[in-house]
Amino acid sequence: MTAHVIDGKSYAAQLRTRLAGEVRDLAARGARPGLATLIVGDSYPAHAYERRVARLAADLDCHYVREALPADTNQADTVAAVGKLNADPRISGILILRPLPDHISETVLYRALDPLKDIEAVHPVNAGLLALDRPRYIPSTPASVFHMLDRYLTDTGRDPAQVYPHTTLVMVGRSNNVGKPAILLGLARNATVLSCDEHSHTAGLLHHYTRHADILIVAAGVPGLITADHIKTGAIAIDVGINPIHNPHTDTITLVGDLDPDVTQRAEAISPVPGGVGPITDTWLLHNTILAAHHAHNIAAAQPNLDGLTLQTHDERLIPTGS
Ligand code: NAD
């Protein structure tokens, strides 16, 4: 068996076409989405991500602001920068880029965000709404994983709503930004979900658990962690990992995922790195920015959530008390 390689770039391009239409519709109502990124310090991956989303914002004719602070900026000044973006009416969504310097508390910064502009659902209110199946925003990386899965299942003639309830889904990694929300999205689709993490005893027995997976999602940040030995024959394996590997001979950096290439011998389908989840994630951030612009202008979004299978996004301010 040689696995099908899922083309994330093509799914991302189709999403961008839809988003361009939504931006035009908003413009006709006198509204324009605005994205702000806040970056503290010189992290290479953070700056690379910032450049990509800045380009996308420009392509989609969204307003864009980049707030870049030196690495030694203190906590109070960083919180003040968030406050400035909260107060700017041209900004509908704010992305705080990680990693942050050690002296900056992520928790404090996330709580300083205006929840309506918190497009990655890192504020406790938005994280809680997602856990309660009432998401205001679905964080872009886990949303992209399920967008990819839903599209792939549909494109191969299967109805995702019928497939997930019969699926064992194993999630490797449980970070707040990827693994945990992906677990919630799997539960919302009625999959049987199993979580593996390096801190639980499953780490040493990883293959024992991953071999049960009809769908395996890996977000550990460990190059080649998952080999053919970890895979059930015919599984779908989604690779979220992005690991820069430095070649000292050529002084170049190559990006690899958490799946070893030999996984293709057993899996039905895999997502590649690069060109898999990453391009959809970038685009989803703009999707959430556009959704935030709808919230800011009290315009009901025609399609609140492009994911849309089981979880609809909500503007909780519009929900009558008691519902
Ligand atoms: P993280 O370091 O915050 O979390 C990693 C998780 O994996 C933790 O729960 C950790 O305990 C677990 N883990 C690590 N080694 C393990 C092992 N041997 N067995 C089982 N579990 C293990 O990282 P993150 O922010 O969740 O990102 C994970 C990876 O995904 C990174 O490579 C990151 O660059 C990448 N990423 C990609 C995208 C994208 O759009 N494709 C977005 C965000 C992150």
Contact 289, 63 (CB under 8 A): no
Amino acid at 25: D
Q: Which of 51-55, 113-117, 142-146, 312-316 has the lowest mean pLDDT?
A: 312-316
Is there an atom of ligand 1 within 6 Å of 173 CB?
A: yes
Q: Which residue has the tokens 């389908």?
A: 269
- Site to probe by mutation for ligand 1, drawn from 96, 198, 207 as the one with most ligand atoms within 8 Å of Cβ, is 198
pLDDT value for 319: 47
Q: Would residue 246 count as lying in a domain?
A: yes
Is there an atom of ligand 1 within 6 Å of 230 CB?
A: no
pLDDT value for 182: 98
Picking from 263, 278, 293, the residue at the C-terminal end of a domain is: 278
Q: Which of 41-50, 132-141, 237-246, 313-322 has the lowest mean pLDDT?
A: 313-322
- The CATH number for 107's domain is 3.40.50.10860
Q: pLDDT tens, 85-143?
A: 999 999 999 999 999 999 999 999 999 999 999 999 999 999 999 999 889 999 999 99
Amino acid at 143: A
pLDDT band at 202 (very low <50, low <70, confident <90, very high): confident
The CA distance from 296 to 315, in Å, is: 10
pLDDT value for 44: 86
Is there an atom of ligand 1 within 6 Å of 180 CB?
A: no
> Within this chain, do residues 202 and 110 fall inside the same structural domain, yes or no?
no
Residue nearest to atom 10 of ligand 1 (CA): 173
Q: Map the chain to HEC letters.
A: CCCEECCHHHHHHHHHHHHHHHHHHHHHCCCCCEEEEEEECCCHHHHHHHHHHHHHHHHCCCEEEEEEECCCCCHHHHHHHHHHHHHCCCCCEEEECCCCCCCCCHHHHHHHCCHHHECCCCCHHHHHHHHCCCCCCCCHHHHHHHHHHHHHHHHCCCCHHHHHHHCEEEEECCCCCCHHHHHHHHHHCCCEEEEECCCCHHHCCHHHHHCCCCEEEECCCCCCCECHHHCCCCCEEEECCCEEEEECCCCEEEEECCECHHHHHCCCEECCCCCCHHHHHHHHHHHHHHHHHHHHCCCCCCCCCCCCCCCCCCCHHHCCCCC
pLDDT value for 302: 61
> Within this chain, do residues 86 and 210 fall inside the same structural domain, yes or no?
no
The CA distance from 254 to 264, in Å, is: 20
The yes-or-no verdict on residue 223 having pLDDT over 70 is yes
**Residue range 25-53: average pLDDT?**
95
Q: What angle is formed at CA 255 by the lines to CA 252 and CA 261, rounded to 5 degrees?
A: 120
Q: Would residue 10 count as lying in a domain?
A: no
CA of 221 to the centre of ligand 1 (A): 4
The CA distance from 298 to 16, in Å, is: 23
> Within this chain, do residues 116 and 147 fall inside the same structural domain, yes or no?
no
The yes-or-no verdict on residue 195 having pLDDT over 50 is yes
pLDDT band at 321 (very low <50, low <70, confident <90, very high): very low
The yes-or-no verdict on residue 236 having pLDDT over 60 is yes
Q: Would residue 6 count as lying in a domain?
A: no
> Within this chain, do residues 147 and 247 fall inside the same structural domain, yes or no?
yes
pLDDT value for 305: 54
**Residue range 23-45: average pLDDT?**
96
Q: Would residue 230 count as lying in a domain?
A: yes
Range of the domain at 202: 140-278
The yes-or-no verdict on residue 35 having pLDDT over 50 is yes
Is there an atom of ligand 1 within 6 Å of 197 CB?
A: yes
Q: What is the dihedral of CA 214, 139, 283, 12, to 10 degrees?
A: 10
The yes-or-no verdict on residue 189 having pLDDT over 50 is yes
Contact 99, 46 (CB under 8 A): yes
> Within this chain, do residues 188 and 267 fall inside the same structural domain, yes or no?
yes
Q: How far is CA 24 from CA 39, 168, 240, 307, in A?
A: 29, 41, 32, 21
The yes-or-no verdict on residue 313 having pLDDT over 70 is yes
Picking from 67, 100, 126, the residue at the C-terminal end of a domain is: 126
The total number of structural domains in the chain stands at 2
> Within this chain, do residues 111 and 177 fall inside the same structural domain, yes or no?
no
Q: What is the mean pLDDT of the chain?
A: 93
Q: pLDDT tens, 238-290?
A: 999 999 999 999 999 899 999 999 999 999 999 999 999 999 999 999 999 99
Q: pLDDT tens, 158-167?
A: 999 999 999 9
CA of 314 to the centre of ligand 1 (A): 28
